[in-house]
Amino acid sequence: MRVVNVSHKLHNKYLAKDVYDNEGRLLLGRNVQLTPSLIDKLIESDVFIVYIEDQLSEGIEVKNVISDEQMIHSVRSVKHIMNNITKQDSGVPTMIREEDLALVGDIIKELIEALEENEGALYTVVELLGADMYTYKHCVNVAVLSILTCKSLSYDYELTKHIAMGALLHDIGKAAVKDNLIQKIEPLTDQEMKEVHNHVIYGYDAIKDDISLSGYTKQIVRLHHEKRDGSGYPLGLKETEIPDFVRIVTICDMFDAMSSTRAYKKSMPVYEVLDILMAESVFKLDPVILQMFTKNICVYPPGSGVKLDDGRFGLVVNYNKFSPTRPEIRVFEDNLGNMNVSHIDLQEERTLFIEKTVATEIIKEHYKL
Ligand SMILES: [Fe+2]
């Protein structure tokens, strides 16, 4: 399977993964053949990216560290929790219901268990839900990334659980910020920016008196936008004033925000996101935690297109755990009208490099496949 942008060029193609609507309900199932009206349905539902199965990408599997089913289940639960907060008060959230907090604990427990079973796998950006579900899937992604980073830092189960709960709840205060501000495409005014920044205060106020949540969880909700150089908010803390457990979630939050597709922006390739985080770590982020974080990330996700520095194009087939920038590639070469397809493991071909990632449609067009 390979990842493609949704367009009418996908007519007659077969879906390789289930596609879900804005409510997290199944929109189109795997193996469905796309027709013009089904493609319109995807576009109307804000689904910008899907996975398809074709000859070009036969045999390539695309999966993340947790299964698609667990991801969907967790995202739906987060949506349910956030909707309940909003319902309690039309403005600032007052508290999270007790049964919803129990649900948060259950989601985290299940995620930690799944990651334990899947030990050694790299976090792979897989676009499963439409852009409208971003707020909820972002919470789950940040929790998963935080658990992986805690593991790399050899944190124990209890601490990992508290940090992951903070990661899952880090943006709950956004339930109190008007949707049109969260979704706004145009630059925000100073006043609007201040209101969006207030999500950390609203979130902290909603949970600060809850005795069932740990101080770790509460401080993550409150401080996840603080930066080492004092440029963050709400307190403008500096260096060691920001605890390590908060710094983990800050990095995971930024990574997911940049690597995800939103209603108003395309996702950024993972290697570019890691470059930006690396640059930010000079003054703003924790460089040691970033290094541990990066170890778990699949830089070139299977099913994505790449251009090699010798000019050839290819599809990523699989990653190499210990050499994330040197995956296995299915390389295409036009030899006087005959298409040569070869398999290259960049871990062995040390003189060959990936120049950039490209849309898989470009590879198809380039070789007239
Ligand atoms: Fe936030």
pLDDT at 93: 59
Q: Report the chain's mean pLDDT, rounded to a whole number.
A: 91
User: Of residues 94 and 143, which shows the higher confidence score?
Assistant: 143
For residues 215 and 136, give the distance between their C-alpha atoms in angstroms, rounded to a whole number: 23
CA 351 to ligand 1 center in whole angstroms: 42
CA 337 to ligand 1 center in whole angstroms: 52
Phi/psi region, residue 367 (left: phi>0; alpha: psi -120 to 50; beta: rest), is: alpha
CA 362 to ligand 1 center in whole angstroms: 35
pLDDT at 235: 97
Residue 88 in this model has a pLDDT that exceeds 60: no
CA 197 to ligand 1 center in whole angstroms: 8
CA 222 to ligand 1 center in whole angstroms: 9
Burial of 90 (0-12, 13-18, 19+ CB in 10 A): exposed
CA 203 to ligand 1 center in whole angstroms: 9
DSSP 123: B
For residues 357 and 306, give the distance between their C-alpha atoms in angstroms, rounded to a whole number: 4
CA 292 to ligand 1 center in whole angstroms: 22
Percent of the chain with pLDDT over 70: 97
CA 277 to ligand 1 center in whole angstroms: 16
pLDDT in tens, 177-232: 888 888 788 889 999 999 999 999 999 998 998 889 999 999 999 999 999 999 99
Q: Which domains are assigned to the chain?
A: 2-53 (3.90.105.10), 68-294 (1.10.3210.10), 305-366 (no CATH)
> What value does the mean pLDDT take over residues 128-136?
80
CA 66 to ligand 1 center in whole angstroms: 23
Give the three-class secondary structure for 251: helix
Q: How confident is the model at residue 130 (pLDDT cuts 50, 70, 90)?
A: confident
The amino acid present at 115, given as its one-letter code, is: L
Residue 89 in this model has a pLDDT that exceeds 60: no
234 cis-preceded (ω within 30 degrees of 0): yes
Phi/psi region, residue 74 (left: phi>0; alpha: psi -120 to 50; beta: rest), is: alpha
Strand partners, 318: 328
CA 108 to ligand 1 center in whole angstroms: 19
DSSP 229: B
Nearest to 155 by CA among 144, 143, 168, 146: 146
CA 81 to ligand 1 center in whole angstroms: 17
Percent of the chain with pLDDT over 90: 66
> What value does the mean pLDDT take over residues 360-367?
86
Residue 91 in this model has a pLDDT that exceeds 70: no
CA 132 to ligand 1 center in whole angstroms: 17
pLDDT in tens, 92-101: 656 788 888 8
CA 200 to ligand 1 center in whole angstroms: 6
For residues 29 and 341, give the distance between their C-alpha atoms in angstroms, rounded to a whole number: 30
